Amino acid sequence: MRDYQVGEKTASAARSSEPFELCVVGAGLAGLNALWVASEYLPTGARVVLIDRHSRCGGMWTQTYDFVRLHQPHPYFTVGDIPWDWDKPAHYLATKPEILHHFDHCLTILRSKFFLVELFGYEADLDAATDLAGQKGLRVHCRPSDPQGSARVVDARRFIVARGNGVPDATPLALSSRAVESATPVDMARYLARDEAAPVYVVGSGKTGMDCAQQAIGDHWQRSICMIAGRGTVFFDRSYVAPAGWRRWRDGQLLLKIFGDVAMRFDGTNGDEAFAYFKEKYALSLNGSGENCFFGYLSGEECRMVESGLSEKIDEYLDDVIDSPDGPVMQFRSGRTRPVKPGSIFVNCTGFLLRGASQPAGPISRGGVLLNISSRGSLHFLSSVSAYFLTHLFFSERRSKAPVYAIDTHALFAIDRRAWFMAATTQAFLNPLVLIDALPIRAFHRCGLNTDRLFPLPRIMAVLAETKAKRKKYVVHCRRSLERVARQYGVRCGEIDWC
Q: Which of 110, 105, 77 is nearest to 453 (CA)?
A: 77
First to last CA, the chain: 36
Single-letter amino acid code for the residue at 136: K
**What per-residue confidence (pLDDT) applies to 174?**
96
Q: What is the DSSP-derived secondary structure letter of residue 87? A: -
Q: What strand order describes the sheet that includes 312-314? A: 181-183, 345-348, 200-203, 225-228, 312-314
pLDDT given for residue 164 in this prediction: 75
Would the pTM of this model clear 0.85, i.e. be above it? Answer: yes
Express each pLDDT in 73-101 by its tens digit. 999 999 999 999 999 999 999 999 999 99
Residues in the chain predicted with pLDDT less than 70, given as ranges, are 1-17, 165-166, 220-221, 352-362, 364, 499
Beta-bridged to residue 234, according to DSSP, are 293
Angle made by CA atoms 364, 366, 367, in degrees to the nearest 5: 85
Phi, psi values for residue 74, rounded to 5°:
-60, -30
pLDDT number for residue 402 = 83
403: Cα within 13 Å, side-chain hemisphere: 6
**DSSP type of residue 43:** P
Q: How is 65-76 classified by DSSP, letter by letter?
A: -TT-B-SS-GGG
pLDDT in the model for residue 361: 58
pLDDT digits (tens, 9 = 90+) for 2-50: 333 333 344 444 445 679 999 999 999 999 999 999 999 999 999 999 9
Enumerate domains of the chain plus CATH numbers: 5-168+356-396 (3.50.50.60), 181-232+285-348 (3.50.50.60)
CA dist 229 and 183 (Å) reads: 17
